[in-house]
Structure 1
Amino acid sequence: MKLEFTVNDKKRVLEVAADKRLIDILREDLGLMGTKEGCGEGECGACTILLDGKAIHSCLLVAAQISGRQVITIEGLEKNGKLDPLQSAFVEEVAIQCGYCTPGMILSAKALLLENPAPTEAEIRRALAGNICRCSGYTQILRAVNRAAREGGAAI
C-alpha cells in the first residue's frame, strides 16, 4: 500500500505492506532507531511513540492504521540541536541506566505532560504503568518527569 503520514514533522510517503508494523517501518524503512522493541506484544512500552499526541505501542500498529496520521518518535523531540526539556530532565536526574526503556518512558511522560502539564505523582505513575524498566530506575524517572513538569516540559 501507499502509506502517507507525518513522522517528526516531516511528510513521508512509503510503499509498504498494509500489515507491516509501525516499529518496523520506523526502524527499517526510516532508520529511526530510537524506538526499541522489547516484547513485541504491547506489554513493555519500549516501543512507545506519540500518535496524534497519544502514547501508543508501535509494535501493535500496522501501516493501514497510521495513514494520514502524525507520529513523533524520540528523535522528534530534539529541536535545532537542543534536547526537549523532558529529555534534559532525564539526563539531569540520571534517569537513564541502560537506556533501553528510556525513549518509551520519555514519550509516555510527554503524552501525559501534553494532556496535563502539572500531574501528581499518582498521575505520573499511572501514565508510566505501561513501561517497564528492568534496571529499576523508577525513582529517578519519577523525579525527571516531576522536574520537567515544573520546568514547563509539555510543549513539543
Structure 2
Amino acid sequence: MARIDYLNDPAAPTPNSIVPAVSVIVRDGTGRILLIHRTDNDLWSIPGGAMEPGESVRQAAVRETREETGYDVEMTGLVGIYTDPNHIIAYSDGEVRSQFSICLTGSVTAGQARTSTESSEVVWQPVDELEDLNIHASIRLRIAHLLDSSRKEPWLS
C-alpha cells in the first residue's frame, strides 16, 4: 500500500484516523544508525509502524524492527512522543492518519540485515552521511533530538 506524507501542507487531506505507532533509532558500536528504504513512499527511515491490538509499545517496537530489518533489538530509552497535527499520512486505501508516534532507542541483540515487503534496503548509515539521503523531516527531527546531547528530557509534541 502506497503512502504520502504531508507536513505543514494546506492541501493535505483531512485525517480520518489516529493510530498509535512506534519508531526505533538503533545505533551500532560506531554510532551509525540503522535505516530502511521504505517501499511504500520510497523514503529512507528508521524502523517503525503501527501498534497491533494486545501489544505494548516495547513489543510493537521489537516486532516492527525485526519485521523491517531482520534484527532483534531491546529497547534502551525514549527519544520522544511525536504528535504533530500538521503531519498527515495518506494511504492508498483511503485511510488518512494524523501523526502519533512514540520514538524509542534500541540496541541489536541478534539477527542480520534482511529486507521485507516494507523495506527494499537495510543499511547502517554514518550520521555524517544522513544529509545525502531522502529522509522525511519528521524522521530527521527524531534523529536530531537523539543526537542533541544538550537535551535532558524526551521530546513531547
TM-score, normalized by length of structure 1?
0.25
In terms of fraction of residues, the more strand-rich structure is 2
Question: Does 1 or 2 have the higher relative contact order (CA < 8 Å, sep 6+)?
Answer: 2
In terms of fraction of residues, the more helix-rich structure is 1
TM-score, normalized by length of structure 2?
0.25
